[in-house]
Amino acid sequence: MRAAWERGNVKLPAEALAGVDVRAVDGGFDDYSKTKLDKGSADAVLIAQAWHWCQDYDKALREAAAYLKPGAPLVIIWNLETKDGYQGQAREFYQPYDLGTPQYYRMRWRAMADTPAFTELFEPLEETKFTWTSPVTEDGVVDRVLSKSYLTEAHLKGERRTEFIERLREIIRNGDKEWVDKENGVFSWKSDTDVLVLRKRQ
């Protein structure tokens, strides 16, 4: 994920990053020291596709607030396939394989609102959803779904994996797709990006 972020930044026009210091670092939710930033100096903290794994929301929120400037946002992002149509059917099929892990769609991360740090350190939560599409093929969708941590070969293997892939392909093939290039098997895949913004109190 961090590597993809860094590759994406390289593709940005130089003027877009002029005077901007963007860092993607390894670490947990409760220790930002690897950023080498001074506390109270960050214009924003961005956490993508990960917040649902946090085990101590109070501690994590306090650490983010410690590094943010007053008024600066903690931005939390998730991308997920839409629940509409056959894509929703695909999700209903594969999500039960998630091994009970605290996936975003289980909404356990909302427990952060019950922590003292949430109300002490941040303004009321701002939530936004963006829907977007990308061109994909059947193989691309299968690869994307199988990249989910609970569907890798470490967790789903052998005959169960083969049967899973066959059923997933059946759902995709029978779906009412919006074709981009039918001859080459390219269709639109709809995703939702959910964005949470918590602004540090002044």
CATH number of the structural domain spanning residue 64: 3.40.50.150
What is the number of structural domains in the chain?
1
Q: Show the domain range for 112.
A: 2-199
What is the distance between the alpha carbons of residues 192 and 107, in angstroms, rounded to a whole number?
15
What is the distance between the alpha carbons of residues 86 and 83, in angstroms, rounded to a whole number?
8
pTM score of the predicted model: 0.84
pLDDT at 142: 98
> pLDDT digit of tens for each residue in the chain (202 aa)?
556 656 665 667 778 778 777 777 777 788 888 888 899 999 999 999 889 989 999 999 999 999 999 999 999 999 999 999 999 999 999 999 998 888 888 889 999 999 999 999 999 999 999 999 999 999 999 999 999 989 999 999 999 999 999 999 999 999 999 999 999 999 999 999 999 999 999 9
Strand bridging mode 73-81 / 186-199:
antiparallel
pLDDT at 13: 79
What is the distance between the alpha carbons of residues 12 and 17, in angstroms, rounded to a whole number?
7
pLDDT at 80: 92
pLDDT at 29: 87
Place of tokens 């994920």: 1
